[in-house]
Each structure stands twice: as structure tokens, then as C-alpha cells.
Copies of this chain bind each other. A is one copy, B any other.
Amino acid sequence: MNETEPVPEGFVRVEDTGPFMTLLGPLYYRSAGNGRIIALRIGGRHLNRRGIAHGGMLATLADSALSVNISLSRKPRLPTVTVTLTTDFVASARAGDWVEAHVDILKIGSRLAYANCYLQVGAKRILRASGVFAVTRAPRPDQASDG
């Protein structure tokens, strides 16, 4: 496998991800239930000195996937900031791996939102992450969704 192989069917590129995710991406997504699976092909630039995906890269993917899914759970989008993120590194990812983030939202409250996430390579779970997010303001009814 290499970085240029085509993305799996059903995935489309995430646009407008901000500078940091543009630097690391591209990210892809596929709708799944009420949310989105977020995915990325691990490339050489994502590796640490040991030749596996840097833990920070995987944590970033998890944080983004959690945040996007919570944001998209409301119309218009719910603006949030990360309060806490915990990550357990279960197995490693290598160059060429297609890593998918599967998010499970536990609660969207008026002030806090909770979700859990698994990063998977195929059916294998390589990272568990959970996040608590603060809702930064009530979305205005007249605000157009940018989702």
C-alpha cells in the first residue's frame, strides 16, 4: 500500500478544515447514521522516529472526529471547544494504513457534550479516545448551517 491509493468508496474529502488539519490531511468522511466516520491515510509525514504513526497524529484525528460529530449533531452547527481528551493507545498504525474514527456521542447538554471514539484500521481498534467539550455559545436560530 502507499499514500496515493484511492480512498475507499463512499468517502469524500473534508473541505475547509482549518490550517492545522490542512497541514496534516487531507481528511475524508462518510456519513454513518446521524454522524460521520472521519478517516485519513497514514503517510510518511505522519510517522515518528520509530516508523509508526505519531501518537499526536492519532490523538489529533480523534479530537477532530469527536469535535466534528458533536458539532454536526445540531442544526445549526454547535460550536464547541475541547475541555478534556483522553487517549489509550492499543496498537500502532503504519504508512499506508487507512485509519477510520468511529464516534459514539453520549450526551449533548446545554453546556457540555460527551463522546467516545475508536480509531480502527479495518476491524482492528488501535486507539480509544474520549472527549468532553464545552458548548461555547447558543447557536442563533438565524445562523446558516455551514455543515
Contact = CB atoms under 8 A, between A and B. Distances in A.
A73 interface: no
A59 to B, nearest CB: 5
A128 B106 contact: yes
A112 interface: yes
Interface residues of A, number: 48
A53 to B, nearest CB: 8
Contact of A63 (B16, B47, B59): B59
A107 interface: yes
A140 interface: no
Interface in A42-76: 44-50, 53-57, 59-61, 63-64
Nearest to A92: B81
A13 interface: no
A114 to B, nearest CB: 5
Contact of A85 (B17, B24, B59, B91): B59
20 contacts: A16-B49, A17-B49, A18-B54, A19-B44, A19-B48, A20-B57, A21-B48, A23-B24, A54-B60, A54-B63, A55-B63, A57-B60, A59-B59, A59-B60, A82-B89, A84-B132, A88-B106, A107-B125, A111-B111, A128-B130
Given A55-B60, A83-B84, 11 more contacts: A18-B47, A24-B56, A54-B60, A55-B82, A60-B60, A84-B132, A85-B87, A90-B106, A106-B128, A111-B111, A114-B128
